[in-house]
Amino acid sequence: MKKTLIILFCVFAFSFAASAQRFAYVDSDYILKHIPEYNAAQKQLDALSGQWQKEVDTRFEAIEKLYKTYQADQVLLTEDMRKRRESEIIEKEKEAKEFQRVKFGFEGDLFQQRTRLVKPIQEKVSKAVQAVADAQQIDMIFDKNSEIMLLYASPRLDKSNDVITRLGYKPGVFVKQ
């Protein structure tokens, strides 16, 4: 019985080794730098983010001015006037924080715009990676820039240029940002 199990284990191990899997990796940052649509989307997102950040900064600067004016006038104000001014400052601060959350928060406007602009490009890259894997009979392709730790990667396994070519772009030619 033990002999049969050992032989069965050896046959299984040999058959597993004989059907070695093929691995490769891609560098998604490198690939995305070659896609003009991605670079245009990034510029658009950066401009939008900058515009919204200026508005957030302007709102908080206005609140800071209100607070400094309040501090300077505080001794001259009646109790009722102080409470109104404090309430106004607090309300403006809440509005500014809410604006900031709506624009930059989790699933805020910037996140939604990024999804709208970048997701189709990511799907296009994903399909190209799949096509390269199918064409070259590769079992697994890792992303060098993802959470998976890659301690060593032979340059011959890098399929990033193949993906760029599959997407219809020229590898090695970066699009200026």
Orientation of helix 109-135 relative to helix 36-73, angle to 10°: 160
Q: Which of 69-78, 100-109, 146-155 has the lowest mean pLDDT?
A: 146-155
Residue 1 belongs to some domain of the structure = no
User: Cα(114)–Cα(53) distance, rounded to whole angstroms?
Assistant: 16
Residue 152 belongs to some domain of the structure = yes
Residue 172 belongs to some domain of the structure = no
Instruction: Write out pLDDT tens, residues 9-27.
Output: 444 444 444 456 788 889 9
Residue 12 belongs to some domain of the structure = no
Rounded CA Rg of the chain: 29
Q: Which of 52-56, 82-86, 127-131 has the lowest mean pLDDT?
A: 127-131
Residue 101 belongs to some domain of the structure = yes
Residue found under tokens 């011959």? 156
Residue 87 belongs to some domain of the structure = yes
Q: Which domain holds residue 85?
A: 22-166
Q: Which residues pair with 26 in a beta bridge?
A: 143
Instruction: Write out pLDDT tens, residues 145-155.
Output: 877 666 556 77
User: Cα(149)–Cα(176) distance, rounded to whole angstroms?
Assistant: 29
Residue 175 belongs to some domain of the structure = no
Residue 7 belongs to some domain of the structure = no
User: Cα(22)–Cα(137) distance, rounded to whole angstroms?
Assistant: 8
The domain tally of the chain equals 1
Q: Which of 6-15, 42-51, 134-143, 147-156 has the lowest mean pLDDT?
A: 6-15
User: Cα(26)–Cα(34) distance, rounded to whole angstroms?
Assistant: 13
pTM exceeds cut of 0.85: no
CA–centroid distance for 48 within its chain? 16
